[in-house]
Chains A and B, each alone.
Chain A
Amino acid sequence: MILTNTTNYFGDLVSFLAEKMGIGGQILAYVIVAAVYLGFFAIAGLLLVYIERRVAAFFQLRLGPNRVGPHGIFQTIADALKLLSKEIFGTNRKDNLLYTTAYYLVIIAALVSLSVIPFSIGVQAYDLNIGVFFISAVSSVGVLGILFGGWGSNNKYSLIGGMRSGLQMISYELSSGLAILTIILLAGTLQMSGIIEAQRDTWFILKGHIPAWIAFFIFVIAGTAESNRTPFDLPEGEAELGAGYHSEYSGMGFAYFFLAEFINMFIIAAVGVTLFFGGWLAPFGITDTLPWQPLWGAVWFFLKVAVFIFFMMWFRWTFPRLRIDQLLTLEWKYLLPIGLLNIVLMAVIVYYNVLISF
């Protein structure tokens, strides 16, 4: 089931400008779309950093940033400006090519992944028919950036961090892939908008009941691991490695890594929401009759993503870090077998149609 004739505001913009101004207009439209995404990237990244700091503060009985602007909301902008103005300071023994490509790779992987995420009805840069697969593929490019950074810094701590990151990403891609596959069995499509349409009557987390819940837990764990957050923040592991793979980066180089981590968290949450909680669909269709449908879609989407992200933050500020061998044990001895069994279970359930739907 591939949806073709749905609205896509970005697509409409491209075809509209292409009609008016020819090839120049088409290029202009692409630039506009890219600018919108870059703007979203920056704002979402900074906002997430702010929210993370605030949430962490309240978990730790502190207030967090509260000086710059009302409730400190401009604190991260000030920080970004500070990082922009800082000297790029690194070692002179670095492998220059890898060192400098590293953060671009990380940030490009995060940015490209954003392009297929449906923020609302028709608000999606590119409704690829293999959307979910595309995200899995692109997000594994990001790990290359971390590996490059770890290797290119020519620092032993960075190297250990980079290698840990490689181990972790390659392992947990499998589990998150399996969790996604489980849901795709239900949806019957890889297209993001198609997956959401398939949930119009019932969200997959309810429809798929037990296997969907198991897949969800696996997805959350693997997703947390892929975004390098506690309890899986071994690549940075500040108590052991100082700052891990980004030890030798300063100024914007560091900021790119930092922002990309938060955008990755957003992407994981967005994919999770799309797969399990119906994306931009309103619960029980309570806002379906109201005007401004794309706006309501965005509201529901971001609300769900916010809850998802809050839980990821809750994990971060509660759990201790795993050790590298325990990390691999968890993946290969627990998540992967459970995920494989789960996919069989889901196949059986879908085949005999033992699904819940309202």
Chain B
Amino acid sequence: MSYIGDVIGGIKTLLTGMKVTGGYFFPSIINKKYIITRQYPDEPAIVMDRFKGEVVMWHNENNEHRCTGCQACEIACPNGSIEIIWDRVLNEETGKKVKVIDQHIYHLGMCTMCNLCIQACPTNAIMWSTNFHNSTYDRSQLTKVLNKPGSKLMAGVEE
């Protein structure tokens, strides 16, 4: 009789379903290793090395960076997240005017982490940081100046 068969078959499928959830419930109540969520502020987040968190500019211990102000990143950026304010300064040794950056402005709020600026940079001045703690109370704080105050171009990068 299909009526009784339906009832019994139906109950059987329900029980197999319960077997699956039960098979996850009882181990996870005993052993924490089955738990897939992480208690974030207590346990550190796992962030991969290549994670594209925000663009930063590398500085060495003498507060020197590698940015020549060539503006390749500014051109490569699809949505205008990068603005470079630069000037030409007379180099006393060579007597030539050299392009020097004043401020490398980075709008994190507009950045889509597309990697084009970093790909475009000829001197590897900018790179990804894995920092993801980017929330602020004010949107203006997301506009960052990447070169540190008083920093200057590392010697030998121009060549």
Contacts and interface: CB of A to CB of B under 8 A. Distances in A.
Direct contact of A and B (CB under 8 A): yes
Contacts of B21: 59, 314, 317-318
Contacts of A55: 25
A122 B22 CA distance: 37
A20 interface: no
B18 A61 contact: no
A315 B17 CA distance: 9
A62 B14 contact: no
A315 B11 CA distance: 12
A319 B7 CA distance: 16
Interface residues of B, number: 16
Nearest to B38: A63
A334 interface: yes
B37 A319 contact: no
Given A314-B18, A319-B17, A62 B24 contact: no
Contact of A318 (B18, B29, B39): B18
Interface string B18-44: 101110110011000011110100000
B29 A58 contact: yes
Contacts, number: 36
B17 to A, nearest CB: 5
B41 to A, nearest CB: 10
A61 B28 contact: yes
Contact of A314 (B22, B34, B35, B39): B22
A214 B17 CA distance: 21
Nearest to A338: B7
Interface-central residue, B17, B21, B25, B29, by most chain A CB under 10 Å:
B25
- From DSSP, what is the main secondary structure of chain B's interface residues? helix
Contacts of B22: 314
Contacts of A334: 7
Interface of A: 55, 58-63, 66, 314-315, 317-319, 334, 338
The 9 nearest A-B residue pairs measured at CB? A318-B21, A61-B36, A62-B37, A58-B29, A59-B25, A58-B28, A318-B17, A318-B18, A58-B25
A317 B17 CA distance: 10
B116 to A, nearest CB: 38
14 contacts: A58-B28, A58-B29, A61-B24, A61-B28, A61-B35, A61-B36, A62-B35, A66-B39, A314-B18, A314-B25, A318-B14, A318-B17, A318-B18, A318-B21
A315 B22 CA distance: 10
Nearest to A66: B39
Nearest to A61: B36
A315 B37 CA distance: 23
B39 A61 contact: no
Contact of A63 (B24, B25, B35): B35
Interface-central residue, A63, A317, A318, A334, by most chain B CB under 10 Å:
A318
Given A63-B39, A334-B7, 12 more contacts: A58-B25, A59-B25, A60-B24, A62-B36, A62-B37, A66-B39, A314-B18, A314-B22, A314-B25, A315-B18, A318-B14, A318-B21
Interface in B62-116: none
Contacts of A338: 7
Contacts of A63: 35, 37, 39
Contacts of A60: 24
A319 B29 CA distance: 20
A58 B25 CA distance: 5
A61 B24 CA distance: 7
A319 B14 CA distance: 8
A314 B34 CA distance: 18
B24 A59 contact: yes
B55 to A, nearest CB: 34
A317 B14 CA distance: 12
A203 B22 CA distance: 27
Contacts of B39: 63, 66
B17 A61 contact: no
A61 B7 contact: no
A272 to B, nearest CB: 18
A294 B6 CA distance: 45
A102 to B, nearest CB: 33
A104 B24 CA distance: 39
